[in-house]
Amino acid sequence: MKTIIEPFKVKVVEPIKMTSRDEREGYLIEAAYNLFLLKAENVIIDLLTDSGTAAMSAEQWSALMRGDESYAGSKSFYRFEEVVRDIFGFKQVIPMHQGRAAERILFSVMCAKGSIVPNNTHFDTTRANVEYLGAEAVDLPIPEFYQPAVNHPFKGNMDAEALEHLIKRVGSRRIPLVMLTVTNNSGGGQPVSMANIRAVEAICSRYGIPLYLDACRFAENAYFIKLREEGYADKSVKEIAREMFAYADGCTMSAKKDGLANIGGFLCTNDDQLAQQEKDLLILTEGFPTYGGLAGRDLEAIAVGLGEVLHEDYLQYRFASIRYLGEHIANAGVPIVQPPGGHAIYIDARAMLSHIPALQYPGQALAVELYREAGIRSCEIGSVMHAEKDAESGEEIPAAMDLVRLAIPHRAYTQSHIDYVIEAILKVHERRELIAGYRIISQPKFLRHFTACFATVDALSNADTPRSSHGEQVLLQH
């Protein structure tokens, strides 16, 4: 059969509330044009993230009932630990309530002020956790990464030469660890090849620097290797995943992605001493090392999810569905990051809305417009999320790209939902020249995209000043 179907059927349904364009206009003003501040019930198709939004399987729901909620030494922990060890292969498995908790504890133990952490590309929380400690997060992707239209089978690769150059320039003592994010979320959900993992590992071991994988989407990365890298077509996704982790000294994991769970994560290492320090911190802020901020039932759901995500019929359907979305909009002229990623399609908003300057946030403008048009929530990954400040002038420097990510939650939407998304994007694309840019009127110090308030550049009259969800007007910050 040529048609690739969802390899599951629906047992429980969750109604979607349909909204009118006028209603959505009101919700946008209430949320100060920040889609993170919308109420989820007012979203028709939620492509904000694939994180924690998976539909759990019947097996996962059954496993919840097995959850052992003992404070210490719960059976659920030992089942979870066994599954994680079997796939990831690390000696020490430390549960966490989500990925960023693993990042915070790992960096707190390994980094100090002045440390440098290279990564193919840091995800926003990863960068923020490095910088919070006074360390520097350095992105070293290959040059193709910054060229959305360029096709490359492993566009998530790290520039290994640049890594070696950096180590030689700053000295290995300032680099407590190197990270590889698989897949590379910040610019297209693009995979890292096994050859690249090997090359980075060889450099790390030459200089005595530990290598960690940010493993959130390890199964998608492994499936890309199977499809695209010579010598892997006949290996199972699990075998490929094991090989990926065999080159690393540890990993951080958000089980909200390829754990197919709604919450959870873990930190792994082969270093017992380091693990002890990490567990000490864990007890301080997350919980006892056999639950790490999670309920026993969450550990059970993750253990089952980690097995299910490795099923190849599941990965085949997931990639086909995401490719379908990407190809349909690209064929109609919408610029996207090529090739389609493993968990999302990324629209090149800077190219699509070329009349909007980068510091009027074309990604934000496009994301708002998709919501206004059809109630679709997406995520800006561009100058709102990643802009930097010029050290001398203090002026904002735009991010390298302005993208809008349409992340597909695992197992949650069907083909007709995807067709609805395609129709909406094409409508917005047709009237793209009429879309205005945005400016930020208030923002927090860290991770501003989550809570910043916006107004359109041509709409700063009193009537258009955004209100918070409590109705009061949001004050301009200077």
Ligand X SMILES: Cc1ncc(COP(=O)(O)O)c(C=O)c1O
Residues of this chain that bind ligand X (CB under 6 A): 51, 98-100, 123, 125-126, 181, 185, 214, 216, 254, 256, 265
Provide φ and ψ at 66, rounded to 5°.
-80, -10
Rounded least distance, CB 187 to ligand X, Å: 11
Burial class (CB in 10 A: 0-12, 13-18, 19+), 133: middle
Closest among 226, 183, 241, 239 to 50, alpha carbons compared: 183
Compute the least distance from the CB of residue 216 to ligand X, in Å: 4
**Toward ligand X, which CB reaches closer, 194 or 407?**
407
Q: Cα 343–346–351 angle (5° rounding)?
A: 170
Residue closer to ligand X (CB basis): 100 or 377: 100
Q: Which is nearer to ligand X, 100 or 297 (CB)?
A: 100
* Token duo for residue 76: 């659920």
Minimum distance between the CB of residue 342 and ligand X, rounded to whole angstroms?
Answer: 11
* C-alpha–C-alpha distance, residues 73 and 440, integer Å: 48
From the CB of 346, what's the least distance to ligand X, in Å? 13
Judge if the upstream peptide bond of residue 7 is cis by omega within 30 degrees of 0: no
Q: For residue 137, which of 154, 125, 155, 148 has the smallest C-alpha distance?
A: 125
Asked if 452 and 443 count as a contact pair (C-beta separation under 8 A), the reply is yes
Whole-number minimum distance, CB 186 to ligand X, in Å?
7
Nearer to ligand X, 254 or 378 (CB): 254
Structure tokens at 265: 């994560």
CB-nearer residue toward ligand X: 400 or 428: 400
- Whichever of 188 and 466 has its CB closer to ligand X, that residue is 188
The least CB distance from residue 190 to ligand X, in Å, is: 12
Determine the angle formed by the axes of helices 194-207 and 160-170, rounding to 10 degrees: 20
Q: Alpha helix locations (H) across 401-455?
A: 415-430
φ, ψ of residue 98 to 5 degrees: the values are: -170, 180
Shortest distance, position 54 Cβ to ligand X, whole Å: 12
DSSP string, 83-148: HHHHHH--SEEEEESSHHHHHHHHHHHH--TT-EEEESS--HHHHHHHHHTT-EEEE-B-GGGG-T
In angstroms, the CA 271 to CA 378 distance is 39
Indicate the residue among 96 and 356 with the shorter CB distance to ligand X.
Answer: 96
Give the burial string for 9-45 (b: 16+ CB within 10 Å, else e): eeeeeeeeeebeeeebeebbebbbbbbebbeeebbbb
For the bound state, the minimum distance from the C-beta of residue 411 to ligand X, rounded and expressed in Å, comes to: 18
Q: Is 125:147 a contact under the CB 8 Å cutoff?
A: no
Nearer to ligand X among residue 256 and residue 386 (C-beta): 256
Shortest approach of ligand X to residue 395 CB, angstroms? Answer: 28
**Based on CB atoms, which residue is closest to ligand X, 28 or 158?**
158
Q: In the complex with ligand X, which residue's Cβ is closer, 125 or 360?
A: 125
Give 42-94 as a DSSP string.
G-SEE-S-SSS-PPPPHHHHHHHHH----SSS-HHHHHHHHHHHHHH--SEEE
In angstroms, what is the C-alpha Rg of the chain? Answer: 22
Which residue's Cβ lies closest to ligand X?
99
Classified as helix, coil or strand, 387 is coil
- Comparing CB distances to ligand X, the nearer of 47 and 216 is 216
Give the 3-state secondary structure percentages of the chain, helix then strand then coil, rounded to 5: 45, 15, 40
**In the complex, minimum distance from the CB of residue 265 to ligand X, in angstroms, rounded to a whole number:** 5
The nearer residue to ligand X, 185 or 360, going by C-beta atoms, is 185
**What minimum distance in Å lies between the beta carbon of 184 and ligand X?**
8
> Which tokens go with 279?
């567990």
Which tokens belong to 28? Answer: 């946008």
We find the least distance from the C-beta atom of residue 116 to ligand X, in angstroms, to be 19
